[in-house]
Amino acid sequence: MNTEIDSKITVSEWEVMRVVWAQGKVTSKEIREVLQQKKDWKPATTKTFIGRLVKKGMLHTETEGKMYIYSANINESEFIKNTLNEIFENICDKDVGNTIVNLITKATLSFKDIEKMEKALEMKKKDAVEEVPCSCVPGQCKCQDHNCSSGHLNIAENQNVKRE
Q: What is the pLDDT of residue 150?
A: 44
- How far is Cα 106 from Cα 90, in angstroms, rounded to an integer? 21
Q: What is the pLDDT of residue 27?
A: 96
Does residue 158 carry a pLDDT above 60? no
Does residue 80 carry a pLDDT above 90? yes
pTM of the model: 0.75
User: Would you give the distance in Å from CA 119 to the centre of its chain?
Assistant: 24
| Mean model confidence pLDDT for the chain | 86
Does residue 50 carry a pLDDT above 90? yes
Does residue 22 carry a pLDDT above 80? yes
* Residue 2 confidence class, pLDDT cut points 50, 70, 90: very low
User: Would you give the distance in Å from CA 100 to the centre of its chain?
Assistant: 14
Alpha helices in 2-138 (DSSP H): 11-23, 28-35, 43-55, 76-89, 93-106, 111-125
What is the rounded average pLDDT of the residues 84-92? 92
